[in-house]
């Protein structure tokens, strides 16, 4: 069954480049970004893993841990990390999950549960759908999932932007409009009355009967 927004993110135990983990315990009381790859030593993914290494402090500021997964053994991941540093100048310090038996890929509906066997002998094309980013909240529920084709490198600035929105809207009864960025006006949700909006936000602008905007809450 497909995973949807607000579903509980499947828990699992796995070996990683930073040692064994139980996923929900590893997440702890913050957010997590799980991003997946179809195979080690693939060109687009090499650039992505390096970029994420450089962005690690930005995610940490948002109380978000990052973790990669590739359908290959942990030993292969360690070798790949050398290539990533050569190509991008970044050292991967976050964990990378080994998924040789395809368990996590199947749990997260990135590969059909009916697939048998291990990662051995499988090509990137066989695993092409293992290209999803998941943002998972402190409640262990999926807040976002975004899947890219193998030929299109992911925009992790967008993942950061979406994480900012998710965290802001979880704290305040607001939503964020298209292309919203930190510091820009937000939308007052329908659950908030005009009177309550004034009390909460000080003022708001009625753009349409169903669309009210206000300054981003602090």
Catalytic center residues: 45
Contact between 14 and 97 under an 8 Å Cβ cutoff? The reply is yes
Buried b (16+ CB within 10 A) or exposed e, 178-214: eebeeeeebbbeeebeeeebeebbeebeeeeeeebbb
Cβ-proximal residues to 124 (8 Å cutoff; 6+ apart), any chain: 38, 39, 42, 150
Nearest to 129 by CA among 149, 159, 107, 99: 149
* Residue 132: both structure tokens together: 């999803």
Contact between 182 and 164 under an 8 Å Cβ cutoff? The reply is yes
Query: How many alpha carbons lie under 13 Å from residue 73 in its C-beta half-sphere?
Result: 6
Phi, psi dihedrals of residue 190, rounded to the nearest 5°: -65, -20
Phi, psi dihedrals of residue 21, rounded to the nearest 5°: -135, 155
Question: At 13, is the secondary structure helix, strand, or coil?
Answer: strand
């Amino acid at each position: 069954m497909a995973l949807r927004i607000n579903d509980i993110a499947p828990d699992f135990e796995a070996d990683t480049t930073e040692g064994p983990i139980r996923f929900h315990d590893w997440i702890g009381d913050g957010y997590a970004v799980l991003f997946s790859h179809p195979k080690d030593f693939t060109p687009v993914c090499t650039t992505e893993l390096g970029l994420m290494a450089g962005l690690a402090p930005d995610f940490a500021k948002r109380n978000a841990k990052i973790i990669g997964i590739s359908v290959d053994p942990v030993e292969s991941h360690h070798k790949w990390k050398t290539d990533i540093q050569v190509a991008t100048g970044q050292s991967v310090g976050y964990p990378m999950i080994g998924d040789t038996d395809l368990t996590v890929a199947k749990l997260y509906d990135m590969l059909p549960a009916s697939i048998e066997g291990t990662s051995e002998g499988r090509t990137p094309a066989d695993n092409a759908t293992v290209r999803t980013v998941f943002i998972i909240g402190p409640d262990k529920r999926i807040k976002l999932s975004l899947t890219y084709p193998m030929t299109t490198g992911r925009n992790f600035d967008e993942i950061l932007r979406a994480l900012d929105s998710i965290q802001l809207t979880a704290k305040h009864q607001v939503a964020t409009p298209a292309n919203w960025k930190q510091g820009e006006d937000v939308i007052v949700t329908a659950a908030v009355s005009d009177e309550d909006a004034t009390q909460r936000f000080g003022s708001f602008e009625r753009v349409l009967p169903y669309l009210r905007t206000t300054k981003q809450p602090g």
